[in-house]
Structure 1
Amino acid sequence: MTAVTLKDVAARAGVSIKTVSNVVRGIPRASEATRERVLRAVEELGYRPNASARQLRTGRSGLIGLSVPDLAMPYFAELAQHVRAEAAGIGLTVLIEETLGDASEELRLLTGTGAALLDGVILSPLHASLDALASVADTFPVVLLGERSYASEQVTADHVLIDNVAAARDVTAHLAGLGRTRIAAIGVKTQSAATSAQRLEGYQQALYEAGLRFDPRLAPPVEEFDRRNGLLVTRALLGLPPNVRPDAIFCFSDIMAVGAQRALHEAGVSIPSEVAVAGIDGSEEALYSTPSLTTVMPDKAVIAALAVKSLAARIGSAEPLPFEVHRAPHRLVVRESTEGVRRQLAV
């Protein structure tokens, strides 16, 4: 089969070869209508840029990496979709890697032989050290996702995040506002993790503001943010004395909340009349769970847009750019698991 060329795409779109080249390379010189026409022609003809030839000609491959801990987690799978779509809009192709939270794997895409093929990397690190990441960011375009546990004046790489303390405070305050007084928190990590620490801080702040006492028995440690830990910890919480047993549970991820709901169902505990449940992540799974799950929803589309645009700016700059921290918005979405009102799912 003859390879589709820029000339073929230009003929289909009714524009010059130069215009097609600019659109494919993400150079913003064409109007939005022209860009859409070119991208439609690219899709219809199945045009694929020759990355090796492009790299020899321009010094860039048009490839970027997205490195996340676990693609089985709905949050990261959904985020990857947004990143891919955002990158495609400016002519970039995304190579997606899964690290499983291993520090050496988190650094491999930045420093290994494969890094030579990439123009830059968007990384969601769990365990790679700040010093190691900072040393890479000085010489290679990197944007970090997720929480940061260092002070703002120590910014050593571009970073995109949400205010996790505020997000956890919002959902805990919602539960307290429903009159719940024994609010458990599932997600306190056994090892140091910025996400867990910040969500715990927000949870404790909301308890204090509601005049409730923090009881460590209601915040047991977990190893991972997964369904199994949500299930097992909730089973243990239900075994506490009646005056301690929770009347609400805030899970630090939606999939842990799904596990918690399963444990409550097994025990014959009604949600939310006996125990209200809420999560954080805004995953599609939360919408389809039974009952539908109240959750804090980070704006994943904005997170992806900020990350891709920050990386593209760093790739395209001839001079070093100052590192920046970008905060994406979040919102609390109240559903059946806390409000108790049954609604038909709008599809």
Structure 2
Amino acid sequence: MNRVKMHGRAFWRALAVLVLLAVAGAVAYGWIDYQRFARTPLAVSAQATSIDVGKGSNLRDVVGLLREQHVTTTGPLYWRVLAEQLRVAGRLHAGEYALTAGMTPRDLLLNMAAGKVLQRNFTIVDGWTFRDLRQALAKADKLRQDGATLDDAQLMAKIGAPGEMPEGRFLPETYAYVKGDTDLDILRRAHAAMAKMLDTLWAQRDKQVPLATPYDALILASIVEKETGRADERPRIAGVFVRRLQNHMLLQTDPTVIYGMGESYAGNIHKSDLTTDTPYNTYTRQGLPPTPIAMPGKPAIEAALHPAQGTELYFVSRGDGSHVFSSSLDEHNRNVACYQLKRCQ
């Protein structure tokens, strides 16, 4: 009888040991599997480059979104354990978050806890017209279009600049934005940036420059911007136009004529276009045009406010992006014959 009891106790002890070993094994396996999950990159693909977490979403909702996008196959348990381990459970922010190659679950949770939402960039290019800008804004990814149906005057009023003509008023620069931002947000920032920079540069201007207002400087800078993309030529071209203004000469610059032609411009300018009067035709009208003809960058504005000294009154394109400058009409005519008519002597 005692021998039977002893055998029975030994059996249960052995069974308990086996159960404990099995539990320990399962725990060890679970821990190893959890560690693998935490450090294994998410399955980011071309179709899943971001996750959009709505307001009020919890961790289970986030995991559900990730599983729907096939970024993870792991259920909420491991994600919950990881969030607790990182001390971010209950601190995840709503927003759109980037999913990048090599990103681990740990990386994503830390980004969400810190609110490091996905930022996109929108670049206003030097020399764009306001029409170009509006067209580009309409195509910007994940940018809400609150101003798309507004005309120019309504749009300027919306951004806090009622009565202003929009051309030239927005600083060419790269602006970061997040999902939920609007086209009007970008325009407000670009408008404020241009106003601030123009005021700063105007205060530092060469006082001999015959420009009455910062807006005049913006107009001249826009012409310089459209005439050349070469940094070494901007001050020289600005100098030519400043001297022509001082001598009461017509500016005679093609970009203003093209701007005045509007949608009728088809890529070429003809002699008849130079004689057709518009408010922007500097072959028929004295002085600066009524508004800028594009959005000038900082270098073009600096050139307009600090033009090169000299006697040059003319320039003509070489056809390679550079220009030949001259001080007399005879010299200029020879340059035109050589570089435009290919009749070099």
Q: TM-score, normalised by structure 1?
A: 0.28
Could you say which structure has the larger radius of gyration?
2
Q: Higher relative CO (CA 8 A, sep ≥ 6), structure 1 or 2?
A: 1
Higher strand share: 1
